[in-house]
Amino acid sequence: MTDGWICLDKPKGISSNFAMVKVRKILKEKTGYVGTLDPFATGVLPIAVGRARKFIQFTEDVEKIYEFEVVFGANTDSYDETGEITETTKIIPTRDQIKKILPKFLGEIEQIPPKFSAVKINGRRACDLARQNKFVEIPSRKIFIHALKLLQFFENNQAKLQVRCSKGTYVRTLAVDIAQKLGSLCYVKELRRIKSGFFSIDRAITLEKLTEIVDTSELDDNLIPLESPLDDIPALFLERNYVSRLQNGLAVQLANSEILSSNVRLFDSESGKFCGVCYVSADGTVTAVRMFLNLGD
């Protein structure tokens, strides 16, 4: 059985779900993924393999870093290069104008996701409604921009930027809002995710490479240990009998603990094995959140 994570470098032109299914077929294991990437986007797509799927929920609410290229002077209905041009302008911002406006987008801001997005409206994806030419009214959402910088400015009306942002940020919308603030229009030409929480592009592997190494020892070098992406969660080591109680759905009371009101990674103190994620309440009561049924499960 293969358990762990594959940091996939998703190629352009396929959905995140399609990429995940490709990994499933290559490894012949059950899989799941964290954080949807648009089909035209590339980069980091964490794939949970085997028992790692149990812990996807603990890797979702993380910061992301994207690099994106924009073309000024036109807008499309999808805010990216796959859409139809809806409007053009001759107003093109300069390098200095772009750099000057970026600080205005730092911190908590509101944005409206594009109509061609996976946001659900009354149970249906906005992009599906938009393709049927149905009116889509998408409510705004609060997101957080931690850092935003201009990486390159090209003479052919294009620029490359990098953003570090919260979960739920739509980079296409951010790009369009930046252009609008500059009195211009733009669409995203390239979008690449280079970091998603623990997972970064320097650990990413392509589908082609994964296919090449699947039956070799090199696969082990590219399979990220199951508990590694949970490193920001405090660790708790308990004796085997306490671990067994938690695995059987019973609570455990701690006499003293520095960790309170928090999720913890639970380890068996005898073997050092990772056993799952528990919650330690304010009074020191430990309850299971996501556990393996036994140490060999």
pTM: 0.89
Looking at 3, 9, 38, 177, which residue is catalytic?
38
pLDDT tens, position by position, 257-285: 788 899 999 999 999 999 999 999 999 99
Domain 64-196 superfamily per CATH:
Pseudouridine synthase (3.30.2350.10)
Q: Which of 17-21, 79-83, 119-123 has maximum average pLDDT?
A: 17-21
Confidence class of residue 115 from pLDDT cuts 50, 70 and 90?
A: low
Is 38 tagged catalytic?
Answer: yes
Residue 118 confidence (pLDDT) = 53
Confidence class of residue 119 from pLDDT cuts 50, 70 and 90?
A: low
Report CA 175 to chain centroid distance, whole Å: 19
Shortest CA distance to 55 belongs to which of 250, 297, 292?
292
Q: What residue ranges do the domains of the chain occupy? A: 4-60+199-228, 64-196, 233-291
Domain 233-291 superfamily per CATH:
PUA domain (2.30.130.10)
Domain 4-60+199-228 classification at class level: alpha beta
Contacts 24+ apart (CB under 8 A), 230-233: 230/55, 230/58, 230/59, 230/265, 230/277, 231/198, 232/198, 233/58, 233/262, 233/263, 233/264, 233/265, 233/277
Shortest CA distance to 191 belongs to which of 291, 22, 42?
42
Give the whole-angstrom CA distance, residue 69 versus residue 3. Answer: 36
pLDDT at residue 78 greater than cutoff 60: yes
Q: What angle do CA 180, 169, 64 make, to 5 degrees?
A: 125
Same fold, 4-60+199-228 and 64-196: yes
Helices (H), 223-287: 240-247
Residue 137 confidence (pLDDT) = 63
| β partners of residue 291 | 276
Residue 221 is inside which H or E element, if any? helix 218-222
Three-state DSSP state, 268: strand
Confidence class of residue 124 from pLDDT cuts 50, 70 and 90?
A: low
Confidence class of residue 129 from pLDDT cuts 50, 70 and 90?
A: very low
